[in-house]
Amino acid sequence: MHFRKLTIRLLAVTLASSAALCAAQEKTEITLARFFGACEADYGKATDASKAQGECGIITTLVNEFNATNKQGIVVKPQIAEWQPFYDQLSARIVSKDVPTISVMHESVLGDYVARKLVEPLDDGFKSVGISTDQFSEQAKTGAIIGGKAYALPFDTWSWLWHINGNLMKKAGLTKADGTVILPQSPEELLTQARKFKEATGKPYLSWPAADVAGNFRSLVTLVAQQNASLFPTSGKQIDMHSKAVRNALELANTLYSEGLIKPNLDYSAGNQAFVNGDVGVHIVGTWTIGDFVAAAEKADSPLKGGYSVVPFAKLYAKKAAFADGHSWVMLKGGAKDDKTRKAALTFMKFLWDRDFEWARTGHLPANKTAAERDDFKKLPFRNNILEISSIGVSLPNSVPRQRAIESIVGEEMVNMMVAKKPIDAVQKSAEERVNKLLAGVR
C-alpha cells in the first residue's frame, strides 16, 4: 500500500516537473534594442507604467509590465545602448548577423534602412494583431510610411522647444501683467531681450547647448525653415549652406554666443542641469524633458517652482516652424528567426501601441490618434502649448540620405563657430563641402 502511494506521489511530481519544463520551453524570447538610458536601480522591478516618470522609467516599466502580464509566454529582453553611437552599433550588428528582434529607430533614419532593404514591411503584421495605420497621426504617417508601405510602428512625435524659467523672466521684466512670458518675435527682439535679461539677472538668457552637435543642427533647421527656406532646396543630393537664410541663422547664433547671452560650453546634460539649477532663462531642448522638468519644478526648493512653462521654438522670422522627428519601432530583416518569434514581436508592438498614452507623458506627442484624443492626455501639463507641433514641425525631406551623419557634420561645424571661433564663411564652406562629399558617395 505504501509502495503504491509512493509510486503515485513520484508520478505526480514527475508530471508536475514535466509540465513546468514544458511551460519553460514554451517561452518565446525576443530582443529589444533601444536607447533612452538605463535606470534599473529605480525601475528594474516596476510594473505599473502609470507611476513611472521620464523616458527611461516609462519604457523600462512598460517592458516589465508586458513580461509580467502577457499570456503568451513572451519574454522581452532589452538591449540598451547610448543613443549617439546607436546606429553605428546597429549597423555592425546587422553585418555580424546579431540582429535584434525589434529596434527603436528615429523616423529621420528610417529611409536609409528602407533603401538598403534592411527593414521588414509591417502592413500585414499590423493587421494580424489589430494595429490600424489609419490611427497614425499625420506626422507619424509621414515618418513611418514610405512608398505606401508601413515600415515602422510610430511611437511619438517630438520637437524642439523653448523651456522657460518664468521666475527669472519676471525678475528681468519680461512678463505681462498676467504673468505670461513675453517671447521675442524677431532676431532683433531676441537680442534686445537677452541683453536686458543678462543685465537684470546677471545670468545668460539662453541655454543653447553649443557643444551639443545634434542640438545645433536642430536649431539651425528650425531657424532656416522659419525663413521659408531649406538646407536642401533642390534635392536630397546637395546641401546649400550659403543661402541668406542659413547665413542669418548662423550670425544670430554667433552673436548670442559671443556676447555671453548663451551659457558657454554646455553639452546636452550640462544644458539640462543649468536649466534645473536656475542658471538660465530659456533652455532649448526637446519634448522628452517636459516630464522631468515638471517633476523638478514641483520640488519646494526648485528655482523653477511656480514658474516653469514650455512652448514651441519661438517664432523669430516669417513663420512658425520647429524641428520635429519621431521615435518608432522596426523589425529588421533577420531579427525574427521564425514565425513564432515574429508573432511575439508583433504582439509586443501592439502592447506598446495600446500604451502610447503612457509614453506621451514624457512630453512627446502621441503617434496614436486614440491616445491624443484622451481627456487625460489633454490634461497633461502644457500639452495645449505644444499641440501645434503637428502642423509646424519640420524635418529634412525623406529623400535626404545619411541624415544622422549630416547632423553630425553641420552640428560640429557650428560647435567650431561658437566655441572655437571659426569664421562663419569657413563654417559654411567646410560644412557644405563635407556634406556634399558624403552624399556624392551614397549609392
**219: CATH:** 3.40.190.10
- The number of angstroms, rounded, from the C-alpha of 9 to the middle of its chain's C-alpha atoms is 57
- The number of angstroms, rounded, from the C-alpha of 433 to the middle of its chain's C-alpha atoms is 28
Residue 23 predicted with pLDDT over 80: no
Same domain for 146 and 175?
no
187 within some domain: yes
pLDDT band at residue 235, thresholds of 50, 70 and 90? confident
Residue 286 predicted with pLDDT over 80: yes
Residue 18 predicted with pLDDT over 60: no
The mean per-residue pLDDT over the stretch 12-23 comes to: 49
Closest CA to 259 of 192, 172, 184: 192
Residue 2 predicted with pLDDT over 80: no
Residue 3 predicted with pLDDT over 50: no
pLDDT band at residue 118, thresholds of 50, 70 and 90? very high
Q: What is the pLDDT of residues 142-187, one digit of tens each?
A: 899 999 999 999 999 999 999 999 999 999 999 999 989 999 999 9
- The number of angstroms, rounded, from the C-alpha of 277 to the middle of its chain's C-alpha atoms is 23
Coil, strand or helix at 328: strand
428 within some domain: yes
Q: What is the pLDDT of residues 359-373, one digit of tens each?
A: 999 989 999 999 999
* pLDDT attached to residue 386: 92
Average pLDDT, whole number, for the chain? 93
* Whole-angstrom distance, CA of residue 58 vs CA of residue 43: 9
Beta strand 149-150 with 206-207: parallel, antiparallel or unpaired? unpaired
* pLDDT attached to residue 19: 47
Torsion angle of the four alpha carbons 354, 345, 330, 56, in this order, in degrees rounded to the nearest 10: 60
Q: What is the pLDDT of residues 336-388, one digit of tens each?
A: 999 999 999 999 999 999 999 999 999 899 999 999 999 999 999 999 899 88
Coil, strand or helix at 331: coil
Beta strand 28-34 with 102-106: parallel, antiparallel or unpaired? parallel
* Whole-angstrom distance, CA of residue 122 vs CA of residue 331: 8
19 within some domain: no
* pLDDT attached to residue 375: 93
* Whole-angstrom distance, CA of residue 323 vs CA of residue 279: 25
Torsion angle of the four alpha carbons 404, 382, 209, 85, in this order, in degrees rounded to the nearest 10: -30
Residue 16 predicted with pLDDT over 60: no
The mean per-residue pLDDT over the stretch 389-401 comes to: 87
Q: Note down the domain range covering 275.
A: 159-324+388-440
* Whole-angstrom distance, CA of residue 263 vs CA of residue 208: 7
Same domain for 317 and 436?
yes
Residue 8 predicted with pLDDT over 80: no
* Whole-angstrom distance, CA of residue 320 vs CA of residue 297: 28
Same domain for 332 and 318?
no
4 within some domain: no
Same domain for 79 and 219?
no
* pLDDT attached to residue 209: 95
* pLDDT attached to residue 30: 98
Coil, strand or helix at 189: helix
* pLDDT attached to residue 5: 52
* Whole-angstrom distance, CA of residue 295 vs CA of residue 297: 5
Closest CA to 222 of 319, 83, 362, 366: 319
Burial of 143 per CB tally in 10 Å (0-12, 13-18, 19+)? buried
Length of the chain (residues) = 443
The pLDDT > 70 percentage for the chain reads 94
Same domain for 239 and 140?
no
Coil, strand or helix at 252: helix
351 within some domain: yes
* Whole-angstrom distance, CA of residue 103 vs CA of residue 234: 32
The mean per-residue pLDDT over the stretch 93-97 comes to: 96
Report yes or no: 386 and 364 within 8 Å, Cβ to Cβ: no
* Whole-angstrom distance, CA of residue 139 vs CA of residue 74: 31
Q: What is the pLDDT of residues 200-215, one digit of tens each?
A: 999 999 999 999 999 9
Residue entry with cell 511611437: 155
* pLDDT attached to residue 12: 52
Same domain for 146 and 163?
no
Establish how many alpha carbons lie within 13 A of residue 21's alpha carbon, considering only the half-sphere containing its beta carbon.
6
Look up residue 127 and give its amino acid.
K
pLDDT band at residue 22, thresholds of 50, 70 and 90? very low
Residue 17 predicted with pLDDT over 70: no
Same domain for 145 and 173?
no
pLDDT band at residue 83, thresholds of 50, 70 and 90? confident
Same domain for 150 and 163?
no
* Whole-angstrom distance, CA of residue 374 vs CA of residue 121: 29
* Whole-angstrom distance, CA of residue 152 vs CA of residue 141: 10
289 within some domain: yes
417 within some domain: yes
* pLDDT attached to residue 138: 87
Coil, strand or helix at 233: coil
Tally of structural domains, the chain: 2
The mean per-residue pLDDT over the stretch 77-91 comes to: 94
Instruction: Provide φ and ψ at 238, rounded to 5°.
Output: -145, 140
Coil, strand or helix at 264: coil
* Whole-angstrom distance, CA of residue 356 vs CA of residue 60: 14
Closest CA to 411 of 239, 252, 128, 218: 218
* pLDDT attached to residue 1: 46
Q: Largest alpha-carbon pair distance within the chain?
A: 99
Same domain for 246 and 344?
no
Q: How far apart are the first and last CA of the chain?
A: 81
Same domain for 420 and 404?
yes
Closest CA to 67 of 94, 46, 36, 90: 46
Same domain for 225 and 191?
yes
Same domain for 198 and 266?
yes
Report yes or no: 33 and 81 within 8 Å, Cβ to Cβ: yes
* pLDDT attached to residue 397: 83
Alpha helices in 134-281 (DSSP H): 138-144, 166-171, 187-201, 213-225, 244-258, 268-276
370 within some domain: no
Residue 25 predicted with pLDDT over 60: no
* Whole-angstrom distance, CA of residue 62 vs CA of residue 352: 8
